[in-house]
Amino acid sequence: MKKETIYVDGMTCNHCKAAVEGALKNLAGVVAAEVDLSNKNVLVQYEESKVTVEQLKEEIDDQGYDVKA
C-alpha cells in the first residue's frame, strides 16, 4: 500500500471535494482519497500494482482541476 499527496489548484468547495474523491475512489486500486481544501491537496492511498500516480493525476485533471507538479 502506498500513499501519495497530490497538490491541486481550483478546488474551492465541498462539491469540488466530492468530485475529486469520488473520481479517484472509482479507480481500481485506490483504497482511500481525502481532499484537504485548505491545503489544496488530496491524499491518496492506493495499491501501486493496480494504479499509477500518473493515472491518479489524469483522473483529477479529467475532473477539471489543475494538478501541480
- Structural domain of residue 40, as residue ranges? 2-68
Q: Confirm if 17 and 52 have CB atoms less than 8 A apart.
A: no
Which residues does residue 42 pair with via DSSP β-bridges, in sequence order?
Answer: 6, 35
Neighbour count for residue 57 (Cβ, 10 Å): 18
Q: What is the pLDDT of residue 37?
A: 97
Average pLDDT, the chain: 96
Grid look-up 491541486 returns 8
3-state secondary structure of 42: strand
Pull the grid cell for residue 46.
Answer: 492506493
Res. 69: pLDDT tops 80 = no
Question: The domain that contains 33 carries what CATH number?
Answer: 3.30.70.100
3-state secondary structure of 21: helix
What total number of domains does the chain contain? 1
- pLDDT tens, position by position, 25-46: 999 999 999 999 999 999 999 9
